[in-house]
Amino acid sequence: MLLSAWLHADLAELFRAPEKTLTEEEISGFAGWIRRRVQGEPVAYITGVKEFWSLLFEVNKDVLVPRPETEILVEETIKVCRTMAPKGLRLLEIGAGSGAVSVSLAVELRGACFTATDISPGALFLARKNACAHGVEGRMDFLPGNLFEPVSGLFDAVVSNPPYISAEEFERLPREVKEYEPKHALMAGTEGTFYHGKIIEGSKDCLKKGGWLLMEIGAGQKERIEKMLRDSAAYSDIETRRDYGGIERVSKARKIDS
């Protein structure tokens, strides 16, 4: 994978030409990438790109590397949005990161407009670049600020893949995650649900009646988050969706109409 990215060559092309000889310049550059990988740096940061939702996203150390399980969040959001009017939908993402979730949704939901917030200026810069790369920047606003601080108006859906790693879990993470990915985008207090609670409360004031809240969650967090949603007394239709590995991955709930 690293060699094909360094040479800008398809993997199949490399396998078809095992006799290919690299130039000294190619060897030197590729060796530098290998050294970075040996030190634990994620492949996506080395190559600068990661595939998500069959789209390529630019990534760097300002953002988490998009992961396949987060595609479940995109799937569930598309499902609920297609039960509503196809045009004029307004969606809000809390914690845009690379923009992978919002941009993927914008590609699929052509009649919808998006607002995305992030506390990191570097993340927002990258998210805008990815929106432009996929031709959806005209329907997206990227706002700097913590959680809901820069947001105004009402939305049909609030979507978030917030930090959900507990302090204890953080110590057990693989080296390439713990030492390279942004810590503030991973950790969420002693139980890993600090930001879920903030998002549940903040969404009450910016969701339209009947609008949906969808959040990615960590393994073992389902009961705690469902209790938060029930205790808020603002949501109905509370459900949890498993990912394809069988882990409870997405929590969703509907803002009460009355």
% residues pLDDT > 70 (the chain):
99
For 149-201, write each residue's pLDDT tens digit. 999 999 999 999 999 999 889 989 999 999 999 999 998 988 899 999 999 99
- Angle, alpha carbons 186-127-1 (nearest 5°): 75
Give residue 87's Cα distance to chain centre.
Answer: 24
pLDDT surpasses 80 at 43: yes
- Domain with residues 49-255, CATH architecture: 3-Layer(aba) Sandwich (3.40)
127's tokens: 């998210």
Mean of pLDDT values over 251-256 = 96
Going from N- to C-terminal start, the domains of the chain cover 2-39, 49-255
Q: Let me know: does 248 contact 221? Beta carbons within 8 Å.
A: yes
Distance CA(192)–CA(206), nearest Å, equals: 24
- Residue 124 φ then ψ, to 5°: -65, -40
pTM, to two decimals: 0.92
By DSSP bridging, strand 207-216 and strand 248-255 are antiparallel
Distance CA(63)–CA(176), nearest Å, equals: 14
Q: Let me know: does 231 contact 214? Beta carbons within 8 Å.
A: no
C-alpha pair distances (Å), 31 with each of 37, 46, 50, 132: 10, 12, 21, 32
229's tokens: 């949603």
In terms of Cα–Cα distance, which of 72, 81, 124 is closest to 241? 72
Distance CA(155)–CA(114), nearest Å, equals: 9
- Reported as a pLDDT band with limits 50, 70 and 90, residue 112 is very high
